[in-house]
Structures are given as C-alpha cells and as structure tokens.
Structure 1
Amino acid sequence: MFNLLIVEDDERIAALVKRGLEEHGYTVTVAYDGISGRKLALNNAFDLIITDIVLPKMDGLDLCREIRSEKPGIPIIMLTALGTTDDKVEGFDAGADDYLVKPFEFRELHVRIRALLKRQNSNKNTQGFLLKYADLEMNLHTKIVKRNNKEISLTPKELNLLQYMMQNPERVLSRVEIAEDVWATTFDTGTNFIDVYINYLRKKIDRDFDTKLIHTRPGLGFIFKKG
C-alpha cells in the first residue's frame, strides 16, 4: 500500500482526488497550504506527493524545492492551471517529476501516479549504481555527475533525462519516448519543453568538451553517442 500526500487549497478538488485514490487502495493525507504540506512531507514517509502550485503561505514551487533538497528521491506531481512551456519548465526546474494541467481527469492522474511509483521502485532495484559512457559518469546513489573527472551540477529533471539517455546509448530516442519514460506524460506537440531540457543538458554536458555526446536527429529525436 502506497502512502500519498496531497497539498491542495481547493477543498473540493482535494476531496475528489483523495476519495478516488483511496478507492484504488492508497493511503492519502491532505494539506491545504504550503507550510502544512512542507511539515507533513519532511516529517513523514510518503511514497509520492501531489501539490498545486498556487497555495497559501508557501507556493508549490518553493514547497517542491524544499522537499527536493531534503528528500531528493520522492516523486512529485504538480497540479496547476498554468500550461505554457515556460510554466512547465519552471515546475520541472523546481524539482517536479510530472506536471498536470487543470482541469484533468482522475484517470490520467492515476496513470501518472502509477508510472512514477513503478519507476521509483525500478530505480530502487537497480543493481549497478555507476553509469559510465565515454568520459562521462553518473553515480545513481549520490547523484553526482562527472565528465573527465570534472563535477557537473544538474537539476533533478536534468539528472533523470541524462540517466535515461545514458541507459539507452547509441539509439534514437523520440520525443514521445522521452516524454513517456522520463516525464511519465504524453508528449504535447504544442510545447517544446523536451527540446528546452535537451539544450540545458548540452550546455552542461557538451559545451566545454571537444567530443559531443548529445545529437539531434531531425524529424526523429535525439541520440546519445560519441562523435
């Protein structure tokens, strides 16, 4: 049985989501403002957190950052009425694993929850803790990334994207695959947030090195390979 936290100031939405999740066997705790949500999140063992962005006392972005700094491994889904590419990037930069725009169907939220919990359990069961490709390495336990022994600072979402690419080297990864496997969401052709994060990674992983590892395949997607 999974233990979930909902941080949502709209009592009607919170009650609907709570009831739906409990019907599927989850244990659900609700907080109605960011400060209460932070206290519950940091003092209890939750398997996943769902938070609105616009909250009283502390907004969901700051809440996400504080949770992520203390508990980097816990999956976080953001709920919001804001759906532009910039809004999504801001949410992912704060540390969210997924982003769902209101209004949404409960069924879609449940699919996202199951995908993140499945990925979380898969990561826990990963046998090898050190990924290596060319002169790049990632420690899955410490989340430290180095290239040519130089440490590189990445956000949680950049780490997830790089991990996925390092685990799938030398094959073309479509935007649809990346959206589903890294963001646990359906790729929206109206946004370019995947390209935004690919560019973020390029600046940190490739820009200062002669050998480039992240390459674009026009019309197809991206490939992680030497040269």
Structure 2
Amino acid sequence: MQKVNLLLVEDEPFLAKVTKESLEQLNYSVVHATDGKKAFSIFQNQLFNLCIIDVMLPQTDGFTLVKQIRALGSQVPILFLTSRVATKDVIEGYQSGGNDYLKKPFSLEELYLRIAELIKRFDSKVITKEEILMIGRYHFVASKQTLQNGTDLVRLSHRETQLLKLLYEHKNALLERKQALITLWGDDSFFNTRTMDVFITKLRKHLSSDRDVEILNVRGIGYKLIC
C-alpha cells in the first residue's frame, strides 16, 4: 500500500525534526520545507494528501501560502500549526483556506488525530492506478486536477480538467463541438465556443512535450484527442 504524502512547512528546526520523524514512524511520507516560498514551489511539483503549515514563516507567511495553494484550484486539506492564538488569527486562517487549526504547544497525539480526521473527512486517499489515466507519456488524474510527465507536473484548472476528461473519454474518436459545449457550458453560444477554443489551446500547450499526443481540430465539427 502506498504511503499518504504530507507536506510539513515549519521553520523551527527542532519542532520540524521531531514532527517529521514521528509522522514517518506512523508510515506517513513527509516532505519538509522551511519557508513559504520553497513550500509553494514543492507543492506545485508533487502530489500531497495533506499540508501542515506554520503561520509565521520566512519568505511567505502561512496565510499567504495557503491562499496561493487555493488559487491553484487545489482542495487538499490544510492544517495550521501556530502560536498565534488570537481569535482574529484563527478566523484569518480559516478565511485563507485552512481546514483546521492546532495551537502551539501541541501534543503529537492530538496532531495524529487531527491528521487522520482531516484525511478521512476529505476522502484524501492515495491515488490508485485506476484513477491514473494515461495520455501518451502523461499521467492524468482528474480528481487531483493534475497532468504529469516524469517530474514535470501541471495543475489544471477545473474547466481544463473537465475538458481533458471529456476528450479522453472520446480518445482517438471525434468529440463533437456542440456535445462538448452543451456538456460543459450548458449551451453552444458563440461566446462559449470561443472560450472552449482558448481551453483547447491551453491543453495543447500542456501536452506539447509528447509528440505522439495531439488534439486535432476537425473544422466545423469538433476535436479528436490522439494518444
């Protein structure tokens, strides 16, 4: 069974070391970052089941980091660890996109329970092989809105994910333009047609590193995903 992947963002060395080692003893896989800027870079290039984030961080503070993560469209559960216990700070934590708030100092036992509960609540299970759709050399996971080729990972928007999934369901066959528009946008107006063309262009760019993958435009009729 694959491990659950956690991102720990904590700049206090001793606390980070104890927390990371304790979680690894429980069979979690833990990636540690010491500042918000580095953490965001790591998050964009790896898949995580849950993030544990301190608020007072160098480079980028925890609240801002979580806003950046949510701006990517990610719904990964996030647990704040912080000594900032004022009500306004707790409120800001939730408003920024956090899902739970554990005040320092905390017991490791309580941390374990909070992590387990968040993972259970958000059904943040490890990705199974059945969830990974192969598009050429790309691994496409619709539930995570990710497209990955080796170490290169793209976090797709919700609409990009919907459109790519629809194309995949019709791979190597014609997806009629009208069908796609009705399914995803609700009507086939001129504005929605132009909008879909923009998303097709974005998906072509995301898939451009594999020459065996193409999204063909069948003029006036629709699109065909070749893979």
| TM-score relative to the length of structure 2 | 0.53
Which residues in structure 2 correspond to 1:75-154 (within 5 Å)?
Answer: 75-121=77-123
Paired residue type of 1:67: I
Q: In structure 1, what is the Cα distance between the partners aligned to 2:74 and 2:4?
A: 18
Paired residue type of 1:107: E
Which of 48, 55, 71 in structure 2 is aligned with 1:69? 71
Q: In structure 1, what is the Cα distance between the partners aligned to 2:78 and 2:112?
A: 13
Partner of 1:151: none
Structure 1 residue 30: Cα displacement = 0.2
Partner of 2:59: 57
Whose Rg is larger? 2
List structure 1 runs of 4+ shifted beyond 6 angstroms.
Answer: none
Residue-pair matches, total: 125
Q: In structure 1, what is the Cα distance between the partners aligned to 2:33 and 2:15?
A: 12
1:36 to 1:122, Cα distance in 2 relative to 1, 3 A: closer
Structure 1 residue 15: Cα displacement = 0.5
| TM-score relative to the length of structure 1 | 0.53
1:123 to 1:47, Cα distance in 2 relative to 1, 3 A: closer
1:75-107 CA deviation, whole Å, 9 max, x = no partner?
011111011221100000000000111000011
Partner of 1:38: 40
Q: In structure 2, what is the Cα distance between the partners aligned to 1:29 and 1:63?
A: 16
Structure 1 residue 122: Cα displacement = 7.6
Give yes or no for contact 2:49–2:125 (8 Å, CA) kept in 1. no
Q: In structure 2, what is the Cα distance between the partners aligned to 1:74 and 1:122?
A: 8
Gaps of 5+ in 1: 125-140, 142-227
Gaps of 5+ in 2: 127-142, 144-227
User: RMSD of aligned C-alpha atoms?
Assistant: 1.8
Which residues in structure 2 correspond to 1:214-225 (within 5 Å)?
Answer: none
